[in-house]
């Protein structure tokens, strides 16, 4: 068979990489909704993660992150690669997460939900944030500590005490709303952060902002917003819900 001649044509859209947890059922769908095809190309890899999210299973993810990054297309020129786990970043550490991803893949920038949340809160001028987490205290506590280390006040946290990720992905949005209301009613807050990439939060953000009169942020929302800024995308190219979707970020 005689080879037929062809041309090479690079896709001009920015390339984004996402390393999702093996057990996460939410983040990939959320991202494909927030990043329309015209805006960017999204490539997703998965990192092995236990059925339960505990400090021990997070430690195991640390070992597997470079291999997960290597499963992203090596020929792609990534603008940003993100690790999609808020609690995992809190325990492993922001700098260590970046180091592990860059060991396995080439990218101009690395993001994670924790750094993205802090950047989003700062962009909105927030100083007092309450946190809703699905997890037990041992998993959620590093997130609060990271906020405080960044100069933010966290007067209160509320958690569902869940460890099983399959149940986290199935927590009813109305339960998430009830937790956000309870947190706001018992504290004076500037914003509420719904932590965890596996929680189904995107659809309730506009409603909660209207009801609470506060910015409401979530892990997937802030991560997409932060990655877009690092990739040089315009807000008009995205479909990020809530007040954050109207706020430009500084990369």
Domain with CATH 3.40.50.1860 in the chain: 116-218
Q: What is the CATH number of domain 15-113+221-246?
A: 3.40.50.12500
pLDDT by residue (tens digit) across 95-115? 999 999 999 999 999 999 999
Are 131 and 143 in contact by the 8 Å Cβ rule? The answer is yes
What is the SS3 assignment for 209? Answer: helix
Domain with CATH 3.40.50.12500 in the chain: 15-113+221-246
What is the SS3 assignment for 90? Answer: helix
pLDDT at 129: 98
As a whole number, mean pLDDT of residues 130-143 equals 94
Q: Is 151 exposed, middle or buried (0-12, 13-18, 19+ CB in 10 A)?
A: exposed
Residues in Cβ contact with 97 at an 8 Å cutoff, skipping those fewer than 6 apart: 65, 83, 88, 89, 110, 112
Mean pLDDT, the chain, whole residue set:
95
pLDDT at 251: 67
pLDDT by residue (tens digit) across 137-186? 988 999 999 999 999 999 999 999 998 999 999 999 999 999 999 999 99
Strands (E), 53-103: 78-84
pLDDT by residue (tens digit) across 17-57? 999 999 999 999 999 999 999 999 999 999 999 887 788 88
Q: What is the CATH number of domain 116-218?
A: 3.40.50.1860
């Amino acid at each position: 068979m005689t080879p037929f001649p062809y041309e090479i044509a690079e896709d001009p859209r920015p390339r984004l990489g996402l390393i999702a947890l093996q057990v996460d059922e939410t983040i990939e769908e959320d991202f494909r909704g927030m990043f329309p095809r015209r805006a960017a190309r999204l490539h997703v890899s998965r990192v092995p993660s236990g059925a339960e999210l505990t400090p021990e299973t997070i430690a195991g993810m640390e070992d597997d992150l470079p291999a997960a990054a290597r499963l992203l297309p090596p020929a792609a020129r990534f603008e940003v690669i993100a690790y999609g786990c808020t609690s995992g970043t809190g325990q492993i550490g922001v700098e260590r997460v970046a180091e592990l991803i860059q060991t396995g893949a080439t990218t101009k920038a690395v993001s994670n939900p924790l750094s993205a949340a802090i950047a989003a809160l700062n962009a909105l001028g927030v100083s007092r944030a309450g946190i809703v987490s699905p997890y037990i205290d041992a998993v959620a506590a590093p997130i609060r500590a990271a906020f405080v280390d960044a100069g933010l006040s966290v007067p209160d946290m509320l958690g569902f005490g869940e460890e099983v990720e399959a149940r986290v992905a199935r927590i009813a949005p109305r339960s998430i709303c009830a937790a956000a209301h309870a947190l706001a009613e018992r504290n004076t807050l500037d914003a509420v952060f719904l932590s965890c990439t596996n929680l189904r939060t995107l659809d309730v953000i506009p409603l909660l902002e209207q009801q609470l009169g506060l910015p409401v942020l979530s892990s997937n929302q802030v991560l997409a917003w932060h990655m877009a800024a690092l990739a040089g995308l315009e807000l008009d190219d995205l479909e990020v819900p809530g007040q954050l979707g109207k706020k430009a970020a500084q990369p």
